[in-house]
Structure 1
Amino acid sequence: MKNKILVVEDEEKILRFIKANLVASGYKVYVAKDGQSALDLYEKYLPEIILLDVKLPKLDGFEVLRRIRGFSDVPVILVTVKDSSIDIVQGLELGADDYITKPFEINELLARVKAVLRRIKDEDILLENEIVVGDLTVNFLRHEVFVKREEVKLTFTEFKLLGELVKNKGCVLTHEVLLTKVWGHEYRDETHYLRVCVAKLRQKLGLTEGIPGWIHTIPTVGYKLLE
């Protein structure tokens, strides 16, 4: 079965170019030219991944992402203009799984799509379906996280990062190891992905610094989950 991708882009020429290459690579592609249409098409077709431009009519990409994250952890690759570091950070903070800047080479885009889809499929098989650390409970079988029995909604990438830390509780995991495990080998030097995602996890989990389950920073090295 073909992977389904929703491409959200208001520039017709770019949209046709992206769609043609994705279709040629074996994907089933749906297209939207504005933010509201993107939301409607997502609910109708439930694609496995969304390629989302930031600059859109009706609803911009950030608002689309914000609304989608209210009910779905579908992977989202954000498309921004070159050198828009503020947009990139904002997108990652809102729950984007990756980003790519215009102008881009089509091979780079296809590689990003493959990396995100690989991230979804390459789930580790655990001997333990559930791990409890203090007030934090991670259920790998159901993809659920609880803090003091209250469910915490995470994106797919956030869940995978937390899972790596929980599976290795008490151990220091380097930036490179975490980036490779969660995002893929080609992201091993992209520490800003990790920094933003850890900050979001701390915010969502709401744990007090220093208690079991807290994600502790090891300066210049990496992170460990306290037990």
Structure 2
Amino acid sequence: MSGTAPHILVIDDEQQILRALRTILGQHQYQVTTARNGEEGLALAAAVQPDVIILDLGLPDMSGIEVCQRLREWADMPIIILSAHDTEPEKVAALDAGADDYLTKPFGVEELMARVRVALRHRSRSSSSKSSLITAGNVTIDLAAHLVTKNGQPVKLTATEYRLLAYLAGNAGRVLTHQAILNHVWGYAEDSQMEYLRVYIRQLRQKLEDDPRNPQLILTESGVGYRLMT
């Protein structure tokens, strides 16, 4: 990102939502550009190169999932999905299409701003030459050195535990779906593997979280997947 205020592109066909987001984001010193359909949003994304895109799934000319897929053909800026439907398959489809996060309408201002800040950190980290070093609370993951420490002390992980943590760390702040994680860590995604994933997440929490029963680093997105918080 440049030294100017971060630029947010909002793609939504509801005029009331566009007005509200323009006001809220503007009050937080963000530059805001808006689009009312998918084609306009795609054109503006190419023209203004925003730092974050907020994308509604229910657009009049094409689905938000199609917009997301077309953006991911050439763009890597974070995409936050807005959805009027809190359905797990819809969320999973959007995330598998390349979205980084999602919010269900109606949403709170503070929650929206928190998601935007996470997206901007992810954007900054992706552009940084030091992106191989990820810090989450008192845990540091050095992806280049394959080293994990907690409070400065090395943490012993199995090969599978490390692959899982490294994938979460490389996408820190993003929601990763169960299928995406299973494909990346185990090479295939089947229902029978879901329990393996839960077991390994539980093992990582035991080794990394201060209170594994109340995780603050590796969060569960119910019915969707997991997210590493930084």
TM bucket, shorter chain: 0.5 to 0.7
> Are the equivalent residues in 2 in contact too, given 1:5–1:48 (CA < 8 A)?
yes
- What is the deviation of 1:78? 0.7
Tell me the C-alpha RMSD between the 2 structures: 3.6
Alignment of 1:114-193 (within 5 A): 114-122=117-125, 164=143, 167=146, 170=159, 172-173=161-162, 179=168, 182-184=171-173, 193=176
Residue in 2 that maps onto 1:160: none
* CA separation of 1:97 and 1:40: change in aligned 2, threshold 3 A: same
- Residue 220 (structure 1) aligned with residue 209 (structure 2): no
SS at match of 2:81: strand
Report if the CA contact (8 A) 1:92-1:197 is conserved.
Answer: no
Counterpart in 2 of 1:133?
none
Total equivalences in the alignment: 174
Name the structure 2 match of 1:93. Answer: 96
Amino acid at match of 2:15: E
Question: Partners of 1:86 and 1:165 in 2: how far apart?
Answer: 35
Structure 2 residue matching 1:7: 3-state secondary structure: strand
Change (3 A) 1:195 1:165: farther
TM, length-normalised to structure 1: 0.64
1:58 equivalent among 32, 44, 61: 61
- Residue 149 (structure 1) aligns with: none
The alpha-carbon deviation at position 199 of structure 1 amounts to 4.3
- CA distance in 2 between counterparts of 1:195 and 1:82 reads 20
What is the rounded CA distance, in whole Å, between the counterparts of 1:105 and 1:81 in structure 2? 14
**Matching residue of 1:197:** 180
- Separation in 1, partners of 2:25, 2:64: 20
Q: 1:28 aligns with which of 4, 9, 31?
A: 31
Q: 1:105 aligns with which of 91, 105, 108?
A: 108
2:35 aligned with 1:47: no
Q: Does the 8 Å CA contact 2:10/2:53 hold for their aligned counterparts?
A: yes
Q: What's the % identity of the aligned pairs?
A: 29
Unaligned 5+ segments in structure 2 are 133-141, 148-157, 190-195, 205-230
Residue 219 of structure 1 and its aligned partner are, at CA, apart by: 5.2
C-alpha separation between the residues in 1 aligned to 2:144 and 2:88?
A: 27
1:66-115 deviations in whole A, cap 9, x for unaligned? 11111112210111124221110000111111111111011111110001
The Cα shift of 1:179 comes to 4.9
Q: Which residue of 1 aligns with 2:13?
A: 10
Give the Cα–Cα distance (whole angstroms) in 2 for the partners of residues 81 and 196 of structure 1.
Answer: 23
Note the C-alpha offset of 1:180.
Answer: 6.9
Q: Once the 2 structures are TM-superposed, how far is the Cα of residue 177 of structure 1 from its aligned partner?
A: 8.5
Q: CA deviation at 1:197?
A: 3.3
CA distance in 2, matches of 1:87, 1:18: 23
Question: Residue by residue, what CA displacement relative to the aligned partner does 1:105-152 show, whole Å, maximum 9, x if unpaired?
Answer: 1111111000111122246765xx9xxxxxxxxxx7xxxxxxxxxxxx
Tell me how far apart the structure 2 counterparts of residues 80 and 16 of structure 1 sit (CA, whole Å).
17
Contact 1:50 1:76 in 2 (8 A): yes
Displacement of 1:2 after TM fit? Answer: 0.8
- TM-score normalized by structure 2? 0.63
